[in-house]
Amino acid sequence: MNKTVIVDYEAGNIRSVANMLTFLNVPFEITSDKNKILQADRIIFPGQGHFAQAMENLQKKGLIEVIKECCNKNIPFLGICIGLQILFEKSEEAPSVSGLGIFKGEVKRFKSGKIPQVGWNKVIPAKNSNVNEDYFYFVNSYYVEPQDENIISSYCDYNGKFCSSVRKNNITAVQFHPEKSSLAGLKFFKNWLGYNYGR
């Protein structure tokens, strides 16, 4: 049986991801156990909240090096929202706090428009994409700005174009919330999982 793990580092929105996997009949476990995470067949790294708090929680649970190791292995890895942002080196939300540094670049705050962006927005795939062109649900005040534009897998527009997802090797990470994105999110998860679990 393929084992999907949702990383529990006390970030928000874990339950919504669990509900989506339950709907898809995907066996999963929510855990902060290092060995279980390292032995998983797929890893989902969700989150909603503050950059500094997320990094502090990872530090407390001893998961920083574990997540880095998982990202460097050939294990399918999905980061969502804060789970995307902390893969980068730093964020304007917490300038003194280092991210995981899996990708070079930083997290920037929107400079105009209503902040946070809350609601549906159209995602446009880039050449490196495993995301369909569709409307997805966002709740974000910040967005990632990768140094290497080749890892960008989709864009979105919110008073200007911004990166809405990245993809490199085994890593897929998205700013939007596929678990809250109705049929578009369902299709996204099915594509990422690469399996039909009966729905």
Averaged over successive runs of 10 residues, the pLDDT of the chain (199 residues) comes to 86 88 94 95 92 95 95 93 97 97 97 95 91 95 97 96 96 97 95 67
Instruction: Out of 70, 71, 156, 177, pick the active-site residue.
Output: 177
Amino acid at site 71: C
Instruction: Out of 70, 71, 81, 163, pick the active-site residue.
Output: 81
81 is catalytic: yes
Amino acid at site 74: N
70 is catalytic: no
Q: What is the CATH number of domain 4-193?
A: 3.40.50.880
- 51: Cβ–Cβ under 8 A, 6 or more apart, which residues? 82, 85, 86, 91, 93, 94, 97, 99, 107, 142
- 184: Cβ–Cβ under 8 A, 6 or more apart, which residues? 132, 134, 135, 136, 178
The structural domains of the chain, with segments of one domain joined by +, span 4-193
- Residue 72 and residue 28: Cα distance in Å, rounded? 22
